[in-house]
Amino acid sequence: MSVVFHADPTAFAQAARPVASRSPCSEAFVAIWCAGLVRHPPGRDVPWLLMTAETGGARAIAMQLGGHPLLLEHSDPAAARVIAHVLADAGHPVPGVDGSEAACAAFAQVWHERTGRVTHERVRLRHHVLDAVSDVRAPSGSARQAGEADADWLVRANDAFADEAKVPRAPQGTARMVRERLADTRYRVWDDQGIVSFLGANLVDGGYARIGPVYTPPEHRGRGYATALVAFASRELIARGATRVFLTTDLANPVSNAIYARVGFRPVDDTVAFDLVAP
């Protein structure tokens, strides 16, 4: 059995390849996640964790930022159980797990045995890929890159998205996250006499690109803003060198799944998010 805690995100990304490469979505996610840690290291008040484990030919990876859930991706259940035992031995807090259902269930079983915590399903996710953008109807207004003047709006919108999507807010604080992403020119907005929709877009070396989050305030929904903005950002990422573009949707939200299908995204695989809570 081998368990490694990684201090270097770049080395972890390489060590994680046997697991990450099981899904093109995971491969892109791990590459982008680690590139983000290198570019914007969390402050001393935001702990982070990168792990790999191997036992009897089974492999697992684990990633965690701050008090967020542990990300297991498509780890093998046997190796995910090893990670659970190691973290339980260390008294490490794990509020939840995200990844393939088999890996998350295996981790959660050990966690229950070791801590008494029980599993509560928070959300089921579907991961999509696009390599060519379909033509979509353009609503009034236009897309543009977000700037510093949009920061306050983006902070409020990011918090609203996190609360509605039932995902944790940024552990470093939403305002800091928005400043960093504005500096990296990652936000695109649809402007129709004011911002009516926004998304985050990321491209790293190797052609890995992801879109997310995507959010339109309730009062502006149903007009095609998000659809047009996703199409705009996808074309831009491909023009900048992305070979494929990935994004993630909540399976319980048929509207967003339909929007992205119209743009040209097709489903690749599903994952689940479990909270690990007191009985």
Q: For every one of its 279 residues, what pLDDT tens digit does the chain have, with 9 covering 90 and above?
A: 899 999 999 999 999 999 999 999 999 999 999 999 999 998 888 999 999 999 999 999 999 999 999 999 999 999 999 999 999 999 999 999 999 999 999 999 999 999 999 999 999 999 999 999 999 999 999 999 999 999 999 999 999 999 998 888 998 899 999 999 999 999 999 999 999 999 999 999 889 999 999 999 999 999 999 999 999 999 999 999 999 999 999 999 888 888 899 999 999 999 999 999 999
Buried b vs exposed e over 212-230: b needs ≥16 C-beta within 10 Å? bbbbbbeebeebbbbbbbb
Q: Would you say residue 36 lies in a domain?
A: yes
pTM: 0.93
Both 110 and 139 in a single domain? no
Q: Would you say residue 37 lies in a domain?
A: yes
Q: Are 53 and 60 in contact (CB under 8 A)?
A: yes
Both 83 and 187 in a single domain? no
Identify the CA nearest to 229 among candidates 213, 240, 218. 213
How far is it, in rounded angstroms, from Cα 272 to Cα 162? Answer: 17
Both 112 and 167 in a single domain? no
201: enclosing H helix or E strand: strand 195-204
Give the residue numbers spanning the domain of 83.
2-125
- Find where tokens 């992305």 sit: 242
Provide DSSP, 222-250.
TSSHHHHHHHHHHHHHHHTT-SEEEEEEE
pLDDT at position 26: 97
Helix ranges (H only) for the chain are: 9-15, 17-20, 24-39, 77-90, 101-115, 151-165, 174-183, 225-239, 254-263
pLDDT at position 58: 98
**Tokens standing for residue 242:** 């992305």
Both 51 and 8 in a single domain? yes
